[in-house]
Amino acid sequence: MSSPFENASNFNIEGGTHIYAKNYHHYGERPPKSSIEKLREHIAAGAFHNSDERCDAPKCHPETRVAVQDEVVGWICDRDSDGDPKEIMWVTGPAGSGKTAIMGSVADTCQRKGILGATHFFSSFSGSANRRSKRFLVPTLAYQFVQHKAMTQVTDRILSAVEHNPAVFDHKLEVQLDQLILEPLRACQEGRSAWPKVIIIDGLDECEAVQYHDEAQSSAPRRSKEDDQIEILSVLKIAASDPDFPFRIVIASRPEHAIKRFFADVAKPLTRELFLDAKYNPDADMALFLESKFANIRRESRLPSSWPGEDVRQTLIANASGQFIYVATVGRFMEVSGGDPDELLKQVLRLPGFKASTDALAPLDALYTHILNSSPDPPLSILCLNLIFRERCFERKDRFGGDLGPAPATFVRLYLESYLGQVSYAFRNLNSLVSAPSMEDHNSPYHLYHKSLVDFLQDRSRSGTLFGRAEAQNTL
């Protein structure tokens, strides 16, 4: 047991009775929090590009998506030499086109170059609720500035702002931006040449609405996620328009209607759009990715160097129709299924390909259908997926409807199962779609590899008979 006088100093003992110490401990009360601690309480640490929560997040395979990455990084670095600078780049494309992987790799590159100011990776299926709410965006960016070794003067100003107004985190985003970022930047004019150059924000379309009222007791209108997304874009536009704001901003999202309209109208003069289409030659990148996966499988299964053949690779690339998520799912399916690689590949190739439909999503839908049907009980599997990821029945909420994040997988199993191991049984053979924590892990939630599976499950025209099966089975 440590002494109650540990770390005390400058004792003055008089008459052996009274003891005075200049340093002393408080018992029964907590010392006041520092400004950095107050700021730390309001950030989404899992949204950092290099957070532990994102350790399994997709990154571009070596030597792939090079043209896109080079264009984004080049635009970031060319700020000073741009004749007609646009301070925001919107990287967009359909689901599965590789936006998050590209942004993760760009962030890593910028970090190595010393030009990364801050990142925020939104995620609607994150283990932490902070990554899907606007509340934590500005404090998270400010915290990363505080941690940046080239921005020490700004650090002092940000922490001073927190000390002066600890309630700033409860203000609207525009006030937070002004007090925590813009005012500190305006006050620091020296040493700017050494400052970083970019802020990266990914997955804006996955930001969900914050409700400010108890919905059961209030007649106030419910906010939509589009409301919060446009509020975020509006404050980022304010920042990008400020002459004292020294960063370019890269924003990645799906081309959802509200976001697309904002960039086409309100922010058009400030925005450069980069759409992930055939211009960036995704087919060549997918060929490199598949060859890497096949090389690993050949090595582990002792298959000939000619396996599986160039015609197979080209068929898979054609089926992908530019969507990286297709080849990534094929790769995971073959790696984790545990069966004969040649037979697994034949199963994939027997599915309807791009020639069987004019719908670019048809091959991905066929792949999802095949994997789900490989479950020992497909209706049960789909019901579990719908309850956990589509209906989100196990999302914890506060009294105002605010997100507290998904419940641990342990709780989900206890709640759903009518016999021990039922959910694990339902998810058997679905390892290429869902990551399930070990039975010894009592804290982590189930994790979906890609949001496109939810898109598939909730669209009857895509999931077909699987959609009907899930609706028919309403009890476990």
Q: How far is Cα 427 from Cα 65, in angstroms, rounded to an integer? A: 32
- Taking alpha carbons only, the member of 461, 466, 474 closest to residue 372 is 466
pLDDT of residue 18: 37
pLDDT of residue 29: 58
pLDDT of residue 77: 92
- Residue 368 contacts by C-beta under 8 Å, 6 or more apart in sequence? 329, 433, 453, 456, 463
Per-residue buried b or exposed e for 183-217, using 16+ beta carbons within 10 Å of the residue's own CB: ebbeebeeeeeebbbbbbbbbbbbbbbbbeeeeee
H or E element in which residue 450 lies: none
Per domain, the residue ranges of the chain are 35-279, 281-369, 375-472
Phi and psi at 61, nearest 5°, equal -65, 145
Q: Provide the pairing of β-strand 447-448 with 434-435.
A: antiparallel
CB 380 within 8 A of CB 469: no
pLDDT of residue 171: 97
pLDDT of residue 473: 53
Amino acid at 160: S
pTM for the whole structure: 0.79
- Taking alpha carbons only, the member of 148, 154, 264, 234 closest to residue 198 is 148
* Per-residue tens of pLDDT for the chain, all 476 residues: 444 444 544 444 344 433 333 343 444 456 778 999 999 999 999 999 999 888 878 888 888 888 899 999 999 998 777 666 799 999 999 888 889 999 999 999 999 999 999 999 999 877 777 899 999 999 999 999 999 999 999 999 999 999 999 999 999 999 999 999 999 999 998 889 999 999 999 999 999 888 764 555 556 677 899 999 999 999 999 999 999 999 999 999 999 999 999 999 999 999 999 999 877 888 989 999 999 999 999 999 999 999 999 999 999 999 998 888 999 999 999 988 888 999 999 999 998 765 555 677 888 899 999 999 989 999 999 999 989 988 888 888 766 556 677 899 999 999 999 999 999 999 999 999 998 998 899 988 998 888 888 888 888 888 887 775 555 454 44
The two structure tokens encoding residue 325: 């998520």
Q: How far is Cα 200 from Cα 104, in angstroms, rounded to an integer? A: 9
pLDDT of residue 405: 77
pLDDT of residue 312: 94
Under DSSP, the state recorded for 389 is I
pLDDT of residue 409: 92
End-to-end CA distance of the chain: 52
Q: How far is Cα 411 from Cα 430, in angstroms, rounded to an integer? A: 20
pLDDT of residue 411: 93
Phi and psi at 396, nearest 5°, equal -85, 140
Amino acid at 236: L
289-298 long-range contacts (CB < 8 A, ≥24 apart) are 289/61, 289/64, 289/324, 289/327, 289/328, 289/331, 290/316, 290/317, 290/327, 290/330, 290/331, 292/61, 293/331, 293/334, 293/335, 296/335, 297/334, 297/335, 297/341
The two structure tokens encoding residue 333: 């399916």
CATH level 3 topology of 35-279: Rossmann fold (3.40.50)
Quick count: other Cβ atoms within 10 Å of Cβ 395?
A: 16
Over its C-alpha atoms, the chain yields an Rg (Å, rounded) of 26
